[in-house]
Amino acid sequence: MWYFTPYALAPALAFVVALVVVALVWPKRNQPLARSLLVLVVATAIWSLGNALETSNTHFTAKLLLIQFQYVGIILVPFAWFAFAMLYAGRNHLLTWKIFALPAALQSVSLLAMITNEWHHFFLPPFELRYDVELGLHYMAGGFGPLWYMHACVSYILTLAGTALVLTALPRAAQTYRVQTSAILVGVALPWIASILYVTGNSPLPRLDPTPIAFAASSLAFMVGITRYHMLDLVPMARGAVISHMDDGVVVLDAKRRIVDANPAALRLVGCTLDEVIGHRIIEFLPGYEHLVAQFHDIDTVATELELNRGAGPEYYNLRITSIHDRQGRLTGRVVVLSNIKLQKETEAELRRAKEEAEAANRAKSAFLANMSHELRTPLNAIIGYSELVQEELEEIGQSDLVPDLQRINQAGHHLLTLINDVLDLAKIEAGRIELEIEVLDPLPLLQEVMSTVEPMMRQNGNTLMLDIEGAPGLLLADATRVRQILLNLLSNAAKFTERGQVRLHVTRSADQQKIAFAIIDSGIGMNAEQLERLFKPFSQADSSTTRRYGGTGLGLVITRSFCQMMGGEIGVQSSPGTGTTFTVVLPAVV
C-alpha cells in the first residue's frame, strides 16, 4: 500500500534533478566523459527513485524488492564515478577492463547475494517492518551481513580512488578549473558522507538513509558544473611546465571552437587572462583578423605562415592547427600553436640578400667575360694564323725540321681557343647574350658537314663513325649554328672517350612530324650513376682521373643542354661503365 510521507520528497527531488542532468548531458553523449557521467547520474536516479518508492510503501515484500532495486544503482555508482574521475583527470590510457576486473567480480557476488539474500542472509540479516509513530514512517529495520561489508569496502575504495584522481588535477588547474573541480567534488562527497553517517549510526535521521537526500544536492552541484562552468567542455589536462613556459603560443579549442585552455605565451598575444578567454570563441579576441578565422574555420589540420601587425610592425608566425579525435575517431577539439618566426624570417632575408648579391656578382662576371670575347679571341687567332704562315714559309725554304714545333704551337693554340670558346659561350648564356637565329634548315647537309668535321678525331682514336637516318628527316625551323654545335659537342665527346670502337649518329623523325631526335651512341668507357649525377654541372667531368687523361673544361655538356633548352628541346643520357654511352637530343621541328 502507498502512502504520503514528506521523507520521500527529498529522494524524489533527487530523482527529478538527476533526470534534468541526464537531459543536459545527453546531447554530449558522444564524449567519453559525458557517457561516464550519464551512467553515474542514471545510477543515482535509480538509487533515489527506489528509495523514494520504498519510503512511500507499507508492504514488506514491496519494500524488500525496492531495496534490491536500489542496490543496482548503489553498486553501479562507484564504478561510474571512478571512470568519470579517470577521464576528467586525463588518465584515459589507464581506463581498461583490467582495472575493473577484480572490483566488478566482487560486486557481482554482492549483487547476487543481495538478490538471493532471503535464502542465506549473508548480505543483510532478516528485515523487520516497523512503524515510527512520531515520524509517521514505515521503515525496514535490520543490520548488515559480512558480504555487505565486502560490498561497502569495494565501493568506498573506488570512490576514494576517484576522488584522489580529481584532487590531483586541482593544483594544476586554472581558477576556472578549480571551481569546476570543486563542484564535482561536492557532487560526489555529499552522498558518501551521508552514507558513512548512516552506516556508523550517526545519521540525523536514524530511521532513514540520508544518502538519497544528499543526492539531491549532488545533482544540483553537477547541474551548476555543467551549465555555469562547462564541466563537459573544460577538462583540466596535465599541461606541465613545458607547455606553460614555452615561447610558442598554445590554444586548445573544443569541438565548437571555444577556448578550453591557453598557455601564457598565447595569452600575451591577445592581452587577456585565462579566465577572460575560457569558454569564449577565439574570434572574440582577434579583432581585425576575422578573415584569418574564416579562412581556417573548416580546416582541422593546417600548417602555414601568418603575418600579423598589431601596430608595432609586421610579426611573423608559423600557424599549426591539429585536430584531436577520440578512440572512435570523432572530433573532440583542436590544438592551435603559434610560433614566432621573426629570427627565421630575418635569417631568410639575409640569405636572400646574400643570394641576390652572389647572383648579381655572377651576372657581372658573365657580362665581363662575354664582353672580353673579342679581346681574348683576337690574340689567339693571331698566334694560330702567324704560326701557320711561318710553317708554310719554313717548308718553302727547306727548313722543315722546325715545322713540328710550329705544329705543336698551332695545336696548343687551337686547344686553348676551344677552351676559351666554351667559357665564353657559358658566360654569354648566363648573361643572356645569346640569341637564336631561326631559319629553315635541311638536316642532311648539316649532318654531312658535322660528320666530315669529326671524322679526323674519330680516326685519331681508331674509331668507326656511322650515320644512321631512319626515314626522311624532313625540314626544320631552327638555329643551324646551335644544332651544329650540339652535335659537334656530343660527337667530339664520343670520339674522345672511345678508343678503337664504334660511334653511331642515329636520326629519327617522330610519327607526328613534330619532333626530331638525334642519338649519339658510342662503345666507350661509359659512366656510373655517381658520374651521371655530375654530368651537367659546370666545370665538372666524370672524375679527376678523366680530367687528367682527356682534358677539357667540363662545359661542353652544360652548353649543349642550354642550347637544347633554348630551342625547346631536351637531352637525356644512358650509360654504364664499360658498355658505352647514349646521348639523346630531342628538338621540336619548329622552334
Q: In the structure grid, which three cell numbers stand for residue 442, read together?
A: 635541311
What pLDDT shows up at residue 583?
Answer: 93
Angle of helix 373-396 relative to helix 342-371, nearest 10 degrees, comes to 30
Per DSSP, 2 falls in state B
**In the chain, domain spans:** 6-227, 240-340, 347-431, 439-588
What pLDDT shows up at residue 236?
Answer: 47
Q: Is 520 left (phi over 0), alpha (psi -120 to 50) or beta?
A: beta
State how beta strands 464-470 and 502-509 pair: parallel
Nearest to 464 by CA among 495, 496, 508: 495
List all residues 6 or more positions away from 195 whose beta carbon is below 8 Å from its beta carbon.
Answer: 209, 211, 214
Distances (CA, A) of 16 to 10, 21, 76, 459: 10, 9, 19, 108
Per DSSP, 273 falls in state -
Q: What span, in angstroms and rounded, lies between the C-alpha atoms of 76 and 38?
A: 12
What is the chain's alpha carbon radius of gyration, rounded to the nearest angstrom?
Answer: 46
| CATH fold match for the domains 347-431 and 439-588 | no
Each as own residue / partner, the long-range contacts of residues 312-318 (CB below 8 Å, 24 or more positions apart, any chain) are: 315/340, 315/342, 316/340, 316/341, 316/342, 316/344, 316/345, 317/341
Range 347-431 classified under CATH 1.10.287? yes
Q: What span, in angstroms and rounded, lies between the C-alpha atoms of 375 and 391?
A: 25
pTM surpassing 0.75?
Answer: no
List all residues 6 or more positions away from 448 whose beta carbon is below 8 Å from its beta carbon.
Answer: none
Q: What span, in angstroms and rounded, lies between the C-alpha atoms of 496 and 493?
A: 5
What pLDDT shows up at residue 582?
Answer: 93
Q: Are 520 and 488 in contact (CB under 8 A)?
A: no
Per DSSP, 471 falls in state S
Q: What span, in angstroms and rounded, lies between the C-alpha atoms of 191 and 213?
A: 8
List all residues 6 or more positions away from 334 whose beta carbon is below 8 Å from its beta carbon.
Answer: 252, 253, 257, 300, 321, 322, 323, 324
Q: Are 227 and 17 in contact (CB under 8 A)?
A: no
- Render pLDDT for 121-134 as a digit per residue (tens, 0 to 9): 888 888 888 887 77
Q: In the structure grid, which three cell numbers stand for residue 144, read together?
A: 548488515
The SS3 of residue 440 is strand
Chain centroid to Cα 502, Å, comes to 54
What pLDDT shows up at residue 262?
Answer: 82
List all residues 6 or more positions away from 471 whose beta carbon is below 8 Å from its beta carbon.
Answer: 508, 509
Q: What span, in angstroms and rounded, lies between the C-alpha atoms of 298 and 462?
A: 72
Q: Are 37 and 84 in contact (CB under 8 A)?
A: yes
Query: At 232, which amino acid appears?
Result: L
Q: In the structure grid, which three cell numbers stand for residue 573, read together?
A: 643520357
What pLDDT shows up at residue 516?
Answer: 92
End-to-end CA distance of the chain: 106
Per DSSP, 319 falls in state E
Chain centroid to Cα 510, Å, comes to 45
Q: What span, in angstroms and rounded, lies between the C-alpha atoms of 249 and 269?
A: 8
Q: Are 89 and 165 in contact (CB under 8 A)?
A: yes
Q: What span, in angstroms and rounded, lies between the C-alpha atoms of 590 and 514?
A: 7
- What CATH number matches the domain at 240-340, 3.40.720.10, 2.70.98.40, 3.40.50.300, 3.30.450.20? 3.30.450.20
Q: Are 583 and 470 in contact (CB under 8 A)?
A: no
b/e per residue 453-475 (b: at least 16 CB within 10 A):
ebeebbeebebebeeeeeeebee
Backbone angles phi, psi at 99, to 5 degrees: -70, -20
Query: How buried is 66 (Cβ within 10 angstroms: 0-12 exposed, 13-18 middle, 19+ buried)?
Result: buried
Per DSSP, 219 falls in state H
- Give the containing element (helix H, strand E) for 129: strand 128-132
Overall residue count recorded for the chain in this entry: 591
Q: Which residues, in sequence order, are bridge partners of residue 339?
A: 318
Q: What span, in angstroms and rounded, lies between the C-alpha atoms of 476 and 8?
A: 105
- Render pLDDT for 261-310 as a digit per residue (tens, 0 to 9): 788 888 887 778 877 887 787 777 666 655 666 666 666 677 777 777 76
Give ∠ CA 118-122-127 in degrees, rounded to 5.
Answer: 50
Q: Which residues, in sequence order, are bridge partners of residue 578?
A: none
Q: Are 318 and 305 in contact (CB under 8 A)?
A: yes
Q: What span, in angstroms and rounded, lies between the C-alpha atoms of 318 and 304?
A: 6
Q: Are 503 and 491 in contact (CB under 8 A)?
A: yes
* CATH number at 6-227: 1.20.1070.10
- Give the containing element (helix H, strand E) for 306: strand 302-309
Q: What span, in angstroms and rounded, lies between the C-alpha atoms of 490 and 309?
A: 57
- Render pLDDT for 459-515 as a digit per residue (tens, 0 to 9): 888 999 999 998 888 888 998 888 988 998 899 888 888 999 999 999 999 888 899
pLDDT along the chain (591 residues), means of 10: 83 84 82 81 87 88 88 88 79 79 91 88 86 79 85 86 73 52 66 71 66 65 63 49 68 79 80 79 65 63 72 76 71 80 82 84 67 66 76 76 75 69 66 77 90 87 90 87 88 89 92 91 88 74 50 69 89 89 92 83
- Hey, what CATH topology would domain 439-588 get? Heat Shock Protein 90 (3.30.565)
What pLDDT shows up at residue 2?
Answer: 85
State how beta strands 249-254 and 302-309 pair: unpaired
Q: Are 83 and 39 in contact (CB under 8 A)?
A: yes
What pLDDT shows up at residue 570?
Answer: 92
